[in-house]
Structure 1
């Protein structure tokens, strides 16, 4: 089974117009196929900028990013159909139902009606939304809305999935259900790149992490090696040791 790079990030730098400093400075990372890879850091560290660049939402100021599927680099034209993104903000139409939202966004990926019908039923079932498939989303709880958000990001079966705070503001049951489903698709071959402020969740979910602070990678590697190498008892302990305790909001 191929286990080489899924994303190769080389010297990626980002400075926004009129900014005095780089938001990201010469970031080099290799994310392997089938990783659950955590991009973690304090507020303003640059992790959201990095994930926005990786998703193609904003361009880097300099540097290169290559994406691979089974060892073959994919073209810029292919990226849209092979990458999936679940933003922290809700990215759906609140007045529509889950089924209508999925139908709309699925059509944007040129899925046939037959393909889309099967895929919608599959996702609604997997994410516990079948019973509310025809109810307007604005009536939903936070956890249900998060699951709709996730379903939209997965409608086209992306090979690489980017998640920005996918469980923020949800109850324990919804959080567990979301993480369990993500673990299942990861085992089936989906590479996951994930940001979160929930350190205990990230410690259990991710097999590798990059800790980013002030736009630079300050630690990177496998979870157990990073904890042992820094004499840290937990990811939260490591986070505080490497980024300090001052306020960042």
Structure 2
């Protein structure tokens, strides 16, 4: 069986020589959640725009449920749901009316539409607020309604673009639970939250420079990193390159030093002594097993900055 989403060698350039995608390839299997990670400008948004028929690639090929996104965009749009980063709700309409309008856009009418609306309102715990204007809803409720609108026509593939940005911890947790419960749907999830990717994604693709630089399950990617992660916060940023005994893959970002060690606890005393000899004071030291943050640092060359 072919993948629910398939992109092969996508290339996309913008004016002034900006290459957003550089032979990017990825796939999403039926029922799988693929987490797409990468810094701003890495090509995530361009990839999603091409796969949802909102942009055309310069070259390469992409299919959604066997439909070519360039040659048959109308069929692609019938089998996908899209939840954009910015809410698509009409704040002057009720939750029920928002869902009803979305269903009508996909050809639903009469009793089947009313049943589907009621089903989604109940599923996302929005029934009590269904007849209130959505402008008065909490951010978490609005975001759950956005997802419900993306599901109104029972799509085979759902695109979620940073779905929990701006939500409080409780709102994020509730939405995570709802997303994980969507069985049988292929989901492509873009996110800036590594804990979200670790919690939700069956498989990850890290994008940098317009191409996929690492791919695999969260556990597999973390397991590829040998040894411990060492994070040292300095009192002042170093003024020259650092080489510390016992540490490898050392990177410096302002006052923050990130490195790896075969045995972090054993390597830290020598590293601290070396820093002290250079007049560099230390604020904090953390030794931990590999995390997705370490995976991202290795493949993208920097830590992922979370959007506010």
Q: Is the structural similarity TM-score above 0.5?
A: yes
1:116 is aligned to 113
Q: Which has the higher helix share?
A: 1
Q: Does 1:239 align with 2:301?
A: no
The equivalences for 1:48-197 within 5 A come to 48-68=45-65, 73-74=66-67, 76=72, 77-185=74-182, 187=183, 189-197=184-192
Alpha-carbon distance in 2 for matches of 1:229, 1:116: 48
Q: Which has the higher mean CA deviation after the structures are superposed, 74-83 or 165-174? A: 74-83
| Partner SS, residue 19 of structure 2 | coil
1:6 is aligned to 4
Unaligned runs of 5+ in 1: none
- Note the C-alpha offset of 1:247: 8.8
- Residues 7 and 65 in structure 1, CA contact (< 8 A), matched pair in contact too: yes
The TM-score with structure 2 as length reference comes to 0.74
- Residues 12 and 19 in structure 2, CA contact (< 8 A), matched pair in contact too: yes
2:213 is aligned to 218
The TM-score with structure 1 as length reference comes to 0.91
Alpha-carbon distance in 2 for matches of 1:19, 1:32: 36
- Residues 25 and 211 in structure 2, CA contact (< 8 A), matched pair in contact too: no
How many residues align? The count is 240
Could you say if the C-alpha distance between residues 162 and 247 of structure 1 is closer, same or farther in structure 2, counting changes exceeding 3 Å? closer
| Partner SS, residue 10 of structure 1 | strand
2:264 is aligned to none
- Note the C-alpha offset of 1:245: 2.9
Could you say if the C-alpha distance between residues 19 and 115 of structure 1 is closer, same or farther in structure 2, counting changes exceeding 3 Å? farther
Alpha-carbon distance in 1 for matches of 2:225, 2:64: 31
Unaligned runs of 5+ in 2: 227-288
2:225 is aligned to 230
